[in-house]
Structure 1
Amino acid sequence: MEHVIAVIGIVVGFVVVAGGAVLLNGRRARRSAREGLVRDDTAEYLTMMVGVLYALVLGLALVTVWEAKSDADTNISAEAGALHQTYLLADGLPPAAAQRARAAADTYAAYVRNDEWPLMAQGRPLGTRGWTLLHDVQNAWTSFEPTTNAQQQVDQLAFGQISVAYQARHGREADGRRGMSGVMWFGLLAGGALTLGLMFLFGIERTGTHLVLAMGFTSLIAFMVVLVYALNSPFGGPLGLSPVPFADVAVGG
Structure 2
Amino acid sequence: MVAYALSILAAGGVVLLAALLFRLVRRAEDDRDPGGPSAGHAGAMLSALFLLVFAIAIIVPWTTADAARQNTHVESQAAIDAYWAAEALPAEDARQVRSALRDYVTFVVRDEWPLMAQGRMDPVGAARMDTLRNRVGDFKVSGTDQEDAKSGLLDHLASISAARAQRAADAAATPPDGLLLLTILTGVMVVVFPFLAGARPRGLTLMPMLAMAGLLGFGVYLTWDISRAFDGPLAVGPDAFRGALQEFARIGGGM
- Specify the TM-score bucket, using the shorter chain as the normaliser: 0.7 to 0.9
Which one of 222, 242, 248 corresponds to residue 237 of structure 2?
242
Question: 1:139 Cα shift?
Answer: 3.1
Which one of 15, 39, 62 corresponds to residue 33 of structure 2?
39
TM-score of the two chains, using structure 2 as the length reference: 0.75
Within-5 A mapping of 1:3-152: 39-40=33-34, 41=36, 42-124=38-120, 126-152=121-147
Question: 1:206 Cα shift?
Answer: 8.5
- Larger of the two Rg values belongs to structure: 2
Equivalent residue pairs, number: 214
How far apart are the structure 2 equivalents of 1:105 and 1:215?
55
How far apart are the structure 1 equivalents of 2:218 and 2:45?
21
Question: 1:221 Cα shift?
Answer: 2.1
Check the 8 A contact 1:43/1:202 in 2, yes or no: no
Larger RCO (CA within 8 A; separation ≥ 6): 1
Within-5 A mapping of 1:102-251: 102-124=98-120, 126-200=121-195, 201=197, 203=199, 207-208=203-204, 210-250=205-245, 251=247
Structure 1 unaligned blocks of 5 or more: 1-37
- Counterpart residue type for residue 88 of structure 1: W
Per-residue CA deviation, residues 87-137 of structure 1 (Å, 9 max, x unaligned), is 12222222211110111101111111122111111223x342111111133
- Counterpart residue type for residue 33 of structure 2: R
The 3 A distance-change label for structure 1 pair 161 and 202 is farther
How far apart are the structure 1 equivalents of 2:102 and 2:185?
48
Identity percentage over the alignment?
25
Structure 2 unaligned blocks of 5 or more: 1-31
Question: 1:212 Cα shift?
Answer: 4.5
Check the 8 A contact 2:65/2:229 in 1, yes or no: yes
Check the 8 A contact 1:141/1:155 in 2, yes or no: yes
TM-score of the two chains, using structure 1 as the length reference: 0.76
Moved over 4 A (4+): 202-207
